[in-house]
Amino acid sequence: MELEKRFHWLLPGGSWRPPNCKPPKRVAVIVPFRCRGEHLLLFLQHMHPFLKKQTLDYTIFIVEQDGDGPFNRAMLMNIGELDMQTFVVGNCVPLLWNNNNVTLPLDPKKTVTKI
């Protein structure tokens, strides 16, 4: 698959953690997705370098909707949250950041930009 070749340095499941330090935070990014592969690639090309600069232990969860019905973002976010809970142990922050100076609340459980 093209994504696997392009992001060969990721750990299984779309995870990354800094190799030379203990990351201060663990982050989960849940991405609802359907039929926009070119947009997903652009998103991942932006987000992976951005998250790596933050020295975070992170996982990006791509949750894809199948079928021709209306796109159900809320359902995909719920599925992503359930998937995240089985994959990652500990506190995670599902959030898309828009700047390079990220500060997080103490002991976050969940932070979202919009629902």
| Neighbour tally for 3: CB within 10 Å | 14
User: Position of tokens 């392009």?
Assistant: 6
At 16, phi and psi to the nearest 5?
-150, 145
Comparing 111 with 2, the larger pLDDT belongs to 2
Which whole number is the average pLDDT over 24-52?
Answer: 86
**Domain extent listing, the chain:** 2-87
pLDDT in the model for residue 48 = 92
pLDDT at 47 over 80: yes
Q: What is the pLDDT of residues 75-101, one digit of tens each?
A: 888 877 777 776 654 444 444 445 555
Mean per-residue pLDDT of the chain: 76
Q: Which amino acid is at 12?
A: P
Cα 75 from Cα 80, distance rounded (Å): 9
H helix or E strand, kind and range, residue 61: strand 57-64
Mean pLDDT confidence for 55-60? 88
Q: Strand 15-16's sheet: what is its strand order?
A: 15-16, 57-64, 26-33
